[in-house]
């Protein structure tokens, strides 16, 4: 908090357990104690630091390029399977690494379950708590199967997933 | 093919509680996406072997987990 900030003007979110002025019922008004109640989530903070360091080491640009490459491969692979509808932009540069699809004649819940059980590919199916988004893309109320490649996903994983979807759809 | 039952829930936390409870009880259960033909407020459901229907029902009842319904698949 900057020196020019008047701490008296800012309300506390939580109070108690500052370790100072223990004899008083009231929250201390001085800094930093006023805003440092209780034990901070140290393991959470350490975890966040480790996570961010890992990202900085790899480089956000490199992570993004990797995800674009995977998304492109996923889009191309899915386009090759008859009966598959892909929703959203076909240009990986215009979206995050998420690909939503449905397959003609297959319920999304069945697709998701079979990808999980038979191929160990974890997806999220249905409306993704976003009914309006699904109304916009025209997939309401059935929803879609959502694939989200990430930084540790490989091109090999993508071709394996596409093959798995191909097999399930042909069943 | 195994005869399955599916437990539907109102909340995700009840689903997770049930999974823990039934796994501990040695039942063959698995979290699955709620089958689309069964409508539910909750996106995940719990699948179990229908042959264990009685004890599964009883376990959930004893632990007073709030469930929406149970269906045979």
Q: What is the pLDDT of residues A31-65, one digit of tens each?
A: 888 998 988 899 999 999 999 999 999 999 999 99
Longest dimension (CA), chain B: 31
The DSSP bridge partners found for residue A146 are A100, A124
**Contact state of B32 with A142 under an 8 Å Cβ cutoff:** no
Among candidate residues A13, A129, A138, A141, the one labeled active-site is A129
Q: Which residue among A125, A129, A142 places its CB closest to the CB of B33? A: A125
CA distance A12 to A34: 7
A129 is catalytic: yes
**Contact state of A126 with B34 under an 8 Å Cβ cutoff:** yes
For residues B46 and B22, is the Cβ–Cβ distance under 8 A?
yes
Q: What is the pLDDT of residues A102-157, one digit of tens each?
A: 999 999 999 999 999 999 999 999 999 899 999 999 999 999 999 999 999 999 99
Cβ-count burial of B41 within 10 angstroms (0-12 exposed, 13-18 middle, 19+ buried)? exposed
Residues 21-50 of B with CB under 8 A from A: 30, 32-37, 43
Calculate the dihedral angle through the C-alpha atoms of A111, A117, A119, A124, rounding to the nearest 10 degrees. 50
**Contact state of B36 with A126 under an 8 Å Cβ cutoff:** yes
Which chain B residue has its CA at the smallest distance from A124's CA? B33
| pLDDT reported for residue B41 | 65
ipTM: 0.74
pLDDT of residue B40 exceeding 80: no
pLDDT tier at A8, thresholds 50, 70, 90: confident
């Amino acid at each position: 908090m900057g020196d020019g900030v008047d701490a008296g003007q800012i309300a506390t979110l939580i109070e108690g357990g500052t370790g100072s002025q223990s004899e008083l019922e009231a929250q201390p008004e001085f800094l930093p104690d006023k805003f440092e109640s209780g034990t901070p989530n140290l393991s959470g903070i350490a975890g966040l630091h480790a996570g961010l360091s890992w990202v900085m080491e790899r480089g956000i640009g490199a992570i993004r390029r990797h995800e674009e490459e995977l998304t492109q491969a996923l889009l191309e692979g899915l386009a090759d399977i008859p009966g598959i509808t892909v929703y959203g932009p076909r240009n990986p540069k215009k979206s995050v690494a998420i690909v939503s699809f449905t397959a003609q004649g297959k319920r999304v819940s069945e697709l998701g379950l079979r990808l999980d059980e038979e191929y160990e590919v974890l997806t999220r199916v249905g409306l993704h708590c976003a009914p309006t988004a699904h109304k916009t893309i025209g997939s309401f109320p059935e929803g879609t199967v959502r694939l989200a490649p990430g930084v540790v996903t490989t091109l090999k994983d993508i071709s394996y997933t596409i093959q798995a979807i191909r097999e399930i759809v042909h069943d | 093919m195994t005869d399955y039952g599916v437990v539907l829930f109102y909340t995700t936390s009840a689903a997770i509680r049930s999974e823990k409870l039934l796994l501990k009880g040695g039942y063959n259960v698995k979290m699955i996406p709620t089958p689309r033909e069964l409508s539910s407020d909750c996106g995940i459901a719990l699948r179990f072997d229908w042959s264990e229907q009685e004890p599964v029902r009883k376990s959930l009842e004893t632990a007073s987990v709030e469930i929406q319904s149970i269906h045979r698949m």
